[in-house]
Amino acid sequence: MSAESGPGLLATVVAALYESGWILDVDWDLETFDLLPAGGAGEPLLGVVMTHSRAVAFYRVHPTYVPVAARAAVAEFVTRQNTLLVTSAFELDLATGSLSLRAGFAVPDVELDLSVVQAILARMITEVEEVRTRTEAELDAVLAGAVLAAADRA
């Protein structure tokens, strides 16, 4: 994989994912892509190529915005979780309630074989999905508890 700027990095990432059997919906202009779930069930995983920093990131975006009443509790949850994570992180926009889990990789300025690119991307995807699976029930409980507590106060 050449760490070149421009569409070359996106094209390499897309080729590596296609070769690995993923189904993609690519926006070449925005340099983003959705990894579509097998069988069409579930939410797609968002991929972003940032040519200016030669980086690739995957985002598992929470399907709904975090309600205002739950943002403080969710902020505490993601802060606790982030201290346990090494190669991924939760991101919560306190202004909008947008919540996502991200894993990223800065591509070195060296030529990498397609199989190496595939292995790096597969590890990033696995990281995001494993963390989501591990934390999903607790996050749902935090959201539900915060919303119920706010309703009780109202």
Hey, what amino acid is at 49? V
> How much is the pTM?
0.85
> Positive or negative, the Cα torsion across 45, 112, 52, 101?
positive
- The CA distances from residue 138 to 6, 47, 84, 135, 148, in Å, are 40, 25, 14, 5, 15
> How are beta strands 55-61 and 32-36 bridged, if at all?
unpaired
Instruction: Convert the pLDDT of each residue in 124-151 to its tens digit.
Output: 999 999 999 999 999 999 998 876 666 6
pLDDT at 5 (0 to 100)? 39
- The candidate with the shortest Cα–Cα distance to 130, out of 103, 92, 107, 106, is 103
Instruction: Convert the pLDDT of each residue in 80-93 to its tens digit.
Output: 999 999 999 999 99
